[in-house]
Amino acid sequence: MSKRKFRTFDDVQIEHYRKHPAELKSYLRVALEEYQKDGDEKAFLSALSVAAQVHGGFSQLSKETGLNRENLYRALSERADPRLSTIMRVLNTLGFSLKIA
């Protein structure tokens, strides 16, 4: 009897945003708004991590940003305290930007 392989929530989320890229932008926007309201940096970094995986993964993002893959992975983890320059490079590479409204 073989074991059934279950997809993780992250797998489902990444698959969804690959099919609906416009919703990824909304997801990042809401995560940033929540960070601005309550300081939930982990949620914003998690959203950026999902965006990186939707974009092609950390290896692809590393090639495009010129940043080390392992450092990118750590910078977007929930325990991270990344530099603003790293966040800006990731956002720009993914086609997003921060704006003051």
* Separation CA 50–CA 12 (nearest Å): 11
Can you spell out the DSSP letters for 15-44? HHHHH-HHHHHHHHHHHHHHHHHH--HHHH
Cβ-based burial of 49 (10 A; exposed 0-12, middle 13-18, buried ≥19): buried
Which pTM does this prediction carry? 0.83
pLDDT band at 2; cut points 50, 70, 90: confident
Would you say how long the chain is, in residues? 101
Residues 89, 94, 100, CA angle at the centre, nearest 5°? 70
Instruction: Give the model confidence (pLDDT) of 58-89 as tens digits.
Output: 999 999 999 999 999 999 987 888 999 999 99
Domain borders along the chain are 9-94
